[in-house]
Structure 1
Amino acid sequence: MNLAGDYASANHHEIHNKIAEALNVAPAMRIENHHNFAWKERLADGTEVMVHRKGATPAGEGVLGIIPGSMSTPGFVVRGKGEASSIQSASHGAGQVMSKSL
């Protein structure tokens, strides 16, 4: 599972590199927001587990993440606190306020 995640991450970086090159710009920051994926991680007590974040994003201490907005509200770039009680995760579900067909 982690191998698939590493592949997706490499592809993500390659796409962003190509876009930056085509636009002749340097990104101000790079944020990976893995979600709806299972990762092998170690809990605060040392137990190794598979963490599946459905509607959540990693929020380890200092880890940058994205909390998307809805179709009518802004999103946010956030920095994780590494809370063990939330398995170092933060909800990213923004909820859909408006119909996608409008």
Structure 2
Amino acid sequence: MNGIHDLGGKHGIGPIIREENEPVFHEEWERRVFGMFAGTFVFAGYSVDEFRHAIEKLDPAHYLESSYYEHWLHAFEDILIKRGFITREEYEDRIAKLAKAEEV
């Protein structure tokens, strides 16, 4: 596969800028997403290949604009909806409630 996620070794992308003393997580929500992996992996019964494929299905522009753990979050959403653990409507309702709570 040669998609946008396969950037390793490509010319013209620019240097990789390493953040000195980079923390494992930049935000608390990233820690939570990391913690979700084991639970959803066992609970939903998906494979690492399915997880990666869900990430690879991201729109190329969104893939480049989003963070590492946003990719993971997208994969959880995709897999849990696809496998019927949540519906698209439940997911969208929850996102709307969270967005409304942030406004307050």
Q: Which structure shows the bigger proportion of residues in helix conformation?
A: 2
Q: Say which structure, 1 or 2, has more relative contact order (CA 8 Å, 6+ apart).
A: 2
- On whether the aligned pair clears a TM of 0.5, the verdict is no
Q: Which structure shows the bigger proportion of residues in strand conformation?
A: 1
Q: TM-score band (shorter)?
A: under 0.3
TM-score (norm 2): 0.24
